[in-house]
A = this chain, B = another copy of it.
C-alpha cells in the first residue's frame, strides 16, 4: 500500500496530464464527422498501453471503430483479469450549456470538466496507470488483458463479432470494468447489476406535405398531435408502462434484496434539490433506487417535428419523429422488448397516419454474483483503500458487453466504478473528481493482489 501511494505521489502530475491529452480527442462515435478523432484516440490508447508495459498491443480493425487490445502474461498458471473500457464518448450537445469547452479539460474546485472525464476515459485510464504502477514497481500479481473499444456509446455492435472471433485470445477468469458509479466517496459501493437497453426511432407521417394550418387545420391529422397522444399512452396514470407483455419476464426482487438495496443512504430532498425539481416522478409503488436499478423504464430521448426555427410558422407538418429507449432488467431481452414495442406502437397508430419504427441498438440486462472470488477481492480492495466496506447497489445504466461476455466467454464481470451519479454523464459539464481518479489508481492494484491471493 505504501509503495502504491508513493508511486502515485511521484507521478501525480503526469497521470493527470496524460488523461487530459486523452480527453482532448473529441471521440464521438455517434457522429460521423468526428471519425478521424475517434481513430486517433485508439492509436493514443494503444501507445499508452505499450509505454505502460503491455505486450502484443494491437489496434484491431472492425466494421466500425477499432478495438485496442494489449496484454501482459507473466505466468499462465496464474489467474487472468480482462479489463474492459471504452475510449468513445457521447455527443457534447447541447454545446451552449457547457461552462468550458467539452474537449478542453478544465479543473474547477478539484473536478475535471470534459466530455468523457468520467464516462469512460477517466475511468478506464485508471487501469492503464494502475497497470503501469504494478509493472514499474514489479508487483503485478496476475495476468492482465486489456480490451478498450470505441463503440460503447452506439451499442457496441462490432465488439460482439470481435469477441466471438477471439475467444482464445480473450480467455480470462474475470472481467473488470470501471464504467459505473459509487454512492459517494464516503459511502463506497459496488454495482451488482446493470439494466439492458432497447433503443428505437419512430416516425409518424400524416399528409404527404407540410400544410397551411389555416387551410387544412382541423380536417387533417397533425402528426405531432398524434405522436404526442401515442407517447402519452405509453405510461398509465401510475406511470406503469402500458405495452402488453412488457413486464411479463421482469425478475421480482426478494425482500432481502429490496432491503439491501434500500439500505443505501438516500436523501430525497437532496436528490430533488440537486435536480431542481419540486416533485419526483416514477412507477407507483417503488423507491427511487428500485425505479432506477431494478425496474424497466421507457424514456423519450428526443422529439422533433414541424417548424422549430425562430419566430412563427403556421404549418401543419407532414411528419414527426422521436427517439425512444427502454431500460431493461432481468429477465427481459432486448430483441423481445424491441419487438413488443414495435408491434404495440404500430398497433396503436390511427388510420390517419403511417408509422415506422426503426431499432437502433440494444443490450441485455445483467446481475453480477456477490459470492465470487472476484467480487470478494473487489470488496477487500475497496474496504482497504476507503476504510469502509462497499454497499451493493444496482446500476441503472447499461453496458451491453457484460451480458455478451457471460454468453460468449462464460466469464462473470466485476463492476468497480469510481464515478458519481452527479458526474453529469451524457450531459453538459460532465466531470470527474481528481480525488476519485487517484483513488481508483490506488484501489485497482489491491484488487489484482487480492484476486490473485483468493484465487489460490
Give the interface of A toward B (CB within 8 A): 29-32, 90-91, 93-94, 97, 153-155, 181, 195, 197, 199, 206-222, 224-225, 227-229, 231-235, 275-283, 288, 291-292, 295, 297, 299-317, 320-323, 325, 327, 350-353, 360-361, 395-398, 421, 424-429
Shortest distance from the beta carbon of A300 to any chain B beta carbon, whole Å = 4
B327 lies within 8 A of A214 (CB):
yes
Q: Which residue of B lies closest to A279 (CB)?
A: B351
> In the assembly, what is the distance between CA of A29 and CA of B310, in Å?
10
Shortest distance from the beta carbon of A27 to any chain B beta carbon, whole Å = 14
- Given A292-B217, A301-B312, A315-B301, A323 and B352 touching (CB < 8 A)? no
> In the assembly, what is the distance between CA of A322 and CA of B304, in Å?
9
> In the assembly, what is the distance between CA of A181 and CA of B215, in Å?
9
Known pairs A278-B351, A312-B325, A314-B398; list 5 more (Cβ under 8 Å). A30-B310, A215-B396, A215-B397, A228-B303, A312-B361
| Copy count, this protein chain | 2
> In the assembly, what is the distance between CA of A397 and CA of B217, in Å?
9
Q: Which residue of B lies closest to A194 (CB)?
A: B214
B219 lies within 8 A of A292 (CB):
yes
Cβ 8 A contact of A396, one of B214, B306, B398:
B214
Contacts of A421 in B (CB 8 A): 215-216
> In the assembly, what is the distance between CA of A292 and CA of B215, in Å?
6
Cβ 8 A contact of A307, one of B91, B209, B216, B295:
B91
> In the assembly, what is the distance between CA of A416 and CA of B302, in Å?
44
Contacts of A327 in B (CB 8 A): 213-214, 217-218
Contacts of A93 in B (CB 8 A): 307, 309, 313
> In the assembly, what is the distance between CA of A93 and CA of B292, in Å?
40
Contacts of A361 in B (CB 8 A): 312
> In the assembly, what is the distance between CA of A361 and CA of B311, in Å?
10
> In the assembly, what is the distance between CA of A275 and CA of B216, in Å?
10
B312 lies within 8 A of A154 (CB):
yes
A309 lies within 8 A of B31 (CB):
yes
